[in-house]
Structures are given as C-alpha cells and as structure tokens.
Amino acid sequence: MDFYPMYIGGRWVESRSGQRFSSINPATGEVLGEVAKGGREDAEAAIAAAKEAFDGWRKTPAPRRGEILFRAAELLKERKESIARLMTREMGKVLVEARGDVQEAIDMTYYMAGEGRRLFGETVPSEMPNKFAMAVREAIGVVGVITPWNFPIAIPSWKIMPALISGNTVVFKPASDTPILGYTLVRLLEEAGIPAGVVNLVYGPGSTVGEAILEHPDVPVITFTGSNPAGVHVNTVAAPRLKRVHLELGGKNAIIVMDDADLKLAVEGIVWSAFGTSGQRCTAASRVIVHRAVKDQLLSMLIERIRGLRLGDGLLPETDVGPVINRSSLEKIHSYTEIARLEGASVAVGGEVATEGELSRGFFYKPTLFVDVKPEMRVAQEEIFGPVTSVIQVDSLEEAIAVNNRVSYGLSSSIYTRNVNTAFTAIRDLMTGLVYVNHGTIGSEVHLPFGGMRQTGNGHREAGQAAIDFYTEWKSVYVDFSGKLQRAQIDRPEPQSPARS
C-alpha cells in the first residue's frame, strides 16, 4: 500500500511517533493509502524549518518567486486530469467538478505568479521639500495554512500561492479526509523548485498539529477555512498572541426567485448550487426564497429535476451527485431531516440515506428538498453542509431580501429576475460578500475578492489583490535628499483667499 510522508525542511519524513492513518474513498470504502500521522513535535519541526527559510525567501526577488509559481502552474495544468481523478477518489466529488477544483488552483497559481512583478506599493508627494515618500510591501513571516476537505486543491492554492509570492514561508496542514491531495500539491511545488523549508507539510488532528500551529509564537499569520465553532476557537487561541488571522467560515446562502424570473434557468441554478459537490460547499444554496406567484410552478419543475439526479461514484460519467465525505457527515445531514419534520416542514423529495446496491458501500444521501419552511426554522438558519435545500415563500422583493439577510451568515446570495431595477436593488441590499444575478450562488474568479460578512468570516478576503493585502505588511519610507535637517511645518498659515472684484 502506498505511504505518504510529511515534508519538513525539504525532506520527506515519517512522523516522530511512527503512527499512521488511512485515507478512504467515500464512494467505495476503499483504502487509498497510509499517511504519516503528525503530532506537536512534527508541527514544531515544520515551524522551525519555515522560520529558518524565511529570510532567504523574502530576499529572493519577487519576480524570481513568480517564476517558481509559474512552473507550478504549468505542472498543475499538465497533470490536471490525474489530480482530478485522485480528487474524485479521495474526496468524492464528480469528475467534472474535480476538474474545476484543479482549474481554480491553476488559475490562482498563474495569477499569483504574475504578481511577482506587480507587488505594487505607493509613491506620494511629501509635505517637505527635497523629500521622497513611498510605501512598500513586506513579507510577514511563517504562515500557518489550515484547510478543509471540500476543495482540497483549490483552497490550499488560494492560501499558499499569495503567501509565497508575498515572500512568506508556509506550514500547511490539510484536512485529514484528503491528505493525499495535500501531498500531491506539495510534491508538485517541490518539483517546481520551491527551496527547502519554504513550504512544509504536516498531517494530523487539529487538536495536536493544529493547536501547535495556532499557539506557536513563530507563526504570526494564520489562515483557516472550516466550520464556525472551529473558526471561533482559532481566533480565541490566536488573539492573545496578536496573530493576523484570516477566517473563511460557514454559509447559509439563498437563491431568490422573483415572479418575473426565467424559471427554467432558475431551476438549473438551484440544482447546481444546492446539489453540486453534494451540497458540501460554503457557497451552496441551502435556501430557495421564492415569490408566491411562481412557487407552485417552480416546485413542480424543481421536484422533477431533483428526482432525475443520479447518485454514484463520481468517476462514472452518468453520476450527477457523489457521496458526502464520511459517516459523521452523513449522520449529521440525516438528523436535519428529522429536525425539519419536527418543526413542521415537509420533505418533498429525498430525505433518506441511499443504501441501494453499490451505494451501500459509501456515504450517500439522497438529494433532498424541504417545503413549508419558515424563515425561523433551524433548517433555514443552520448550515447543514449536504445535498439539502429548503423552499421559503415570500410576497415581495422587500420580504425576500429581509429573509435573505436574517441569518447569521453572509457569504453568497443570488436573485433571478428580468427586471433591471429589481436586480440593482438586490445588489445594493443583499448583505453578502458575493451577489449573483440570474446565476447560482457558487463560482468565483481568482482576480476578485472572495469572502463573506457577519459570521461567515472576520472581514479578510481571499483571492485578487485582497489576498496580497492580507499576506503583507505596509512599510512607509521617507528619503530626505536636502542634505540638511528639516523640521515639519506644524503651524501652517491659512491660504489666502483670492481678492474679490
């Protein structure tokens, strides 16, 4: 059986304890490989290696850093299909979605490679004569990168590539459900020419490896994507140490369907947003807010479309929806079906664990639609993270926007309408970090900031220039070329008003 070691200081190593854990295919139960199970000592060794490598990497010219990332992007592009197939086996998403995941990493890596020649600062006029004033970006230090399993190549690339191009070094802890994909990404960066110690890889539980990264004084920057409770813990541990923390947390995203919407287009957007990646996206549409005038028609079309979705192994071309990640997730998702019924909602389709034939070998949940849902119900407020969505009826645009905003999260929202006035009102009033018009709630481009409001995060953004802002410090620089001491003119005379004729 294949074994996947850790990467510390430029060497592939076993864990200090010698312990291992298995990576499992969630569609079949197949063991894909044995992985080194790291602990606190392994994390500390990785941090020490990253700290030692930092000075040399930050002094490496940024265009040179960009050349290494460009090679990494080329390797990702060459191996897109093999990585996507591995992703379908280790994480479960259908192959077409896995290809999209890898493409996100390709796009981000190319984009950040280009930023090696565009780490723009500022030049501004000084208030004193013969003085030059500017602001430049500086790398910060070691970045602790803690990532989830649902986008196991894209999300690490969104964090690692901007950190590296900015001159930081990295300690990377991938999710324990997708360690082989973490290994694959780091192996590729090594092949692209990343110097020893600049990127380090440690697998293991959050309670040991994660805590060591959060607590260590030599890790000034933390970037984390995961659940809200875990994010609150990350912030709590990091706060006394004044670490810079980026949190990308949950979502309770809604698609609004107005009475003038193209319903066929809306149904396709809902199905893709709610059931793509088996609903295991922070941007998944877990609410459908529909105008009373078109609710019945939309429901009829939606139920028919959902019933036609085919569950199965994501490598099979006929599969529409793959498995969820593990048994714990499967049980959590099913518990919300019982919660919905107890609160007075109804199950229009789905609501069951799928156990027919080959599906019994994996973790499959039937695509589920709740109806008769009220905005205050738990299924309309809490993140379920599975192939489940709820229909909520409203009577107006104002009510739809209010229902959309009446949750603790604020990541993504969408509206289907043919009315330009309605669209722009929604763009203004929907309180989410992403707003889509006549499109589902998922999908983003690497040159735009990605993130949410309220409890979806802590205000920092991934991707685009926003990522560079997070991974760099500003340094203001003054150069006095007068050759003599100058004092700031504190008491300035008021400018003379022009004489009135």
- Catalytic annotation, residues: 248
Pairing of strands 122-125, 131-139: antiparallel
- Enter the tokens of residue 5: 């070691």
Query: SS in 3 state form for 341-355?
Result: HHHCCEEEECCCECC
What three-state secondary structure class fits 173? strand
Phi-psi region of 372 (alpha: psi -120 to 50; beta: other; left: phi over 0): left
Radius of gyration, CA atoms only, the chain: 25
- Enter the tokens of residue 332: 């959590």
Q: What is the DSSP letter of 114?
A: H
End-to-end Cα, the chain, rounded Å:
94
- CB 53, CB 65: distance < 8 Å: no
- CB 403, CB 375: distance < 8 Å: yes
Torsion of CA 440, 87, 7, 250, to 10 degrees: 30
The amino acid at 189: L
- CB 456, CB 410: distance < 8 Å: yes
| Helix/strand/coil percent split, the chain, to 5 | 40, 20, 35
Q: What is the DSSP letter of 175?
A: -
Please state, in angstroms and as integers, the Cα–Cα distance from residue 436 to each residue in 256, 392, 418, following that order. 10, 19, 13
Q: What is the DSSP letter of 153?
A: T
